[in-house]
Chain A
């Protein structure tokens, strides 16, 4: 049963520190999405890639966030420097693009707490 994996599952860090979150998409999927979920804002799309190329990162604060896909088996989301308002659950999803939509499979998430 293929699954999206994310590491770490939990991260507690102090304000100003760099945070790196990793995602291993399902083998064969050509699209990777990064989402952030908070109680106040709900689920927000931060960025997504197709065939490892960034398609849209307009949802991401550019000054501190960066997303990359160094190879087909790894996607990373970095925050530098981190701030308390970045505390959230970050989800990676991988998927396939169909004619009319993306079929997405979500990972378990990384719960980030910035103190």
Chain B
């Protein structure tokens, strides 16, 4: 079945450092891909999405490109802030799963001042 694998955390960075969180997926067909963010004590929020190959999703300085050839959707940000500290989830939604969203295990990010 469809699945998502993302890098294990925690990831600890200093403020203004570059961020990359790796995400790869397994799916038949052409799923939509997402990054969600969860701040402490809150529910998940959609950060960005891409619905077809080569699309780039972007929001709040974060971006990710749908790479079909490598089945990847890595999350990047050029300069992180303390307020970016959260758990980041990669996810997919495909027609083989009835368009249910399949989430990765999450990657916790700590940003130090």
Contacts and interface: CB of A to CB of B under 8 A. Distances in A.
Interface of A: 4, 42-43, 45, 48, 55-56, 91, 93, 97, 100-109
Q: Which 5 A-B pairs have the closest CB atoms?
A: A106-B43, A101-B93, A101-B32, A106-B44, A43-B103
A101 B51 contact: yes
Interface of B: 31-32, 34, 41-46, 49, 51, 89, 93, 95, 98-101, 103, 105-106
Secondary structure type dominating chain A contacts: strand
21 contacts: A42-B105, A43-B44, A43-B89, A43-B103, A43-B106, A45-B101, A56-B98, A91-B44, A100-B31, A100-B32, A100-B99, A101-B32, A101-B34, A101-B49, A101-B93, A102-B93, A102-B100, A106-B45, A107-B43, A108-B41, A108-B42
Pick from B34, B45, B51, B101 the residue with the most CB of A within 10 Å.
B101
